[in-house]
Amino acid sequence: MSHFSSSFIAEAVDGGWRLRQGLVYHSDLLGQIIEVPEGYITDLASVPRLFRFIVPVANARNRRAAVVHDYLCTHGKGIVKHQKQADQVFREALGVVGVGRMRSAALYYPVRTFQWFKGLFT
């Protein structure tokens, strides 16, 4: 069963948050362990300001899922096959931390839409 085996411990730095200890997530979807290293810097929500009214900056409940997603987006080569898979792990992790299906969908679909929109211009 998917789960986190470490806590989210970070400090505020310019541009985001720096992990003070590694974050470990066991993903059933990927069938592997994702280890976000100590020192990794995340903004907790890689969403342009324009879309933040839909996808707010991560709150206490979904921070760990956001960190795993950010890490997969920036360092996921060899872990995930494509962006959609990283986004699916985000949704999986939201469920693990207790975010309900409706709230999870409200966070997941704007992230997917942003990735599609971003792809149009790259």
Residues 17-24: what's their mean pLDDT? 97
What is the model's pTM? 0.85
**CA pair distance 71, 6, nearest whole angstrom:** 15
- pLDDT winner (highest mean) among 6-10, 42-46, 101-105: 6-10
Split into its structural domains, the chain has a count of: 1
Three-class secondary structure assignment of the chain: CCEECCCCCEEEECCEEEECCCEEEEECCCCEEEEECCCCEECCCCCCHHHCCCCCCCCCCCHHHHHHHHHHHHHCECCECCHHHHHHHHHHHHHHCCCCHHHHHHHHHHHHHHHHHHHHCC
Q: Using one digit for the tens of pLDDT, what is the confidence trace for 94-117?
A: 999 998 998 888 888 888 887 665
Give me the domain span that covers residue 11: 3-120
